[in-house]
Amino acid sequence: MNEESAPLHLTYHIGRHDGGWAYRLGDVWSEPYPSHSAARGAAQRAARRQQLEGRDAEIVFQSEDGSWHREHVEADDRPEVDVANE
């Protein structure tokens, strides 16, 4: 990552969605989980995956408009990530 730029910061939010509990990043929701704690655990696992370092990677993500993107990221180019309640 360029030392002059601030690190990207992402926040996964936990909330009620589609008849259960889910996490979201921006306007994109995960699948529903039966409980708040299950959704929070899934969000924490997703956050940890965002922070894995050590090697370059190809990532696939869905943007707010529903389209999928593939991107190459360098080993040290990882966002800061939080998990929060709605």
For 53, half-sphere exposure in the C-beta direction (CA atoms, 13 angstrom radius) is 6
Which two tokens mark 13? 């939010």
**Of 42-51, 57-66, 76-85, which one has max mean pLDDT?**
42-51
pTM over 0.75: no
Task: Read off the pLDDT of residues 6-59 as tens digits, 9 standing for 90 and up.
Answer: 667 889 999 999 999 999 998 899 999 999 999 999 999 988 887 766 678 787
Query: Above 70 in pLDDT, residue 74?
Result: yes
Strand positions, DSSP E, the chain: 9-17, 20-25, 28-29, 57-62, 68-73, 80-85
CB neighbours of residue 16 within 10 Å: 12
Which two tokens mark 7? 């690190």
Q: Which single residue is written with the structure tokens 């730029």?
A: 5
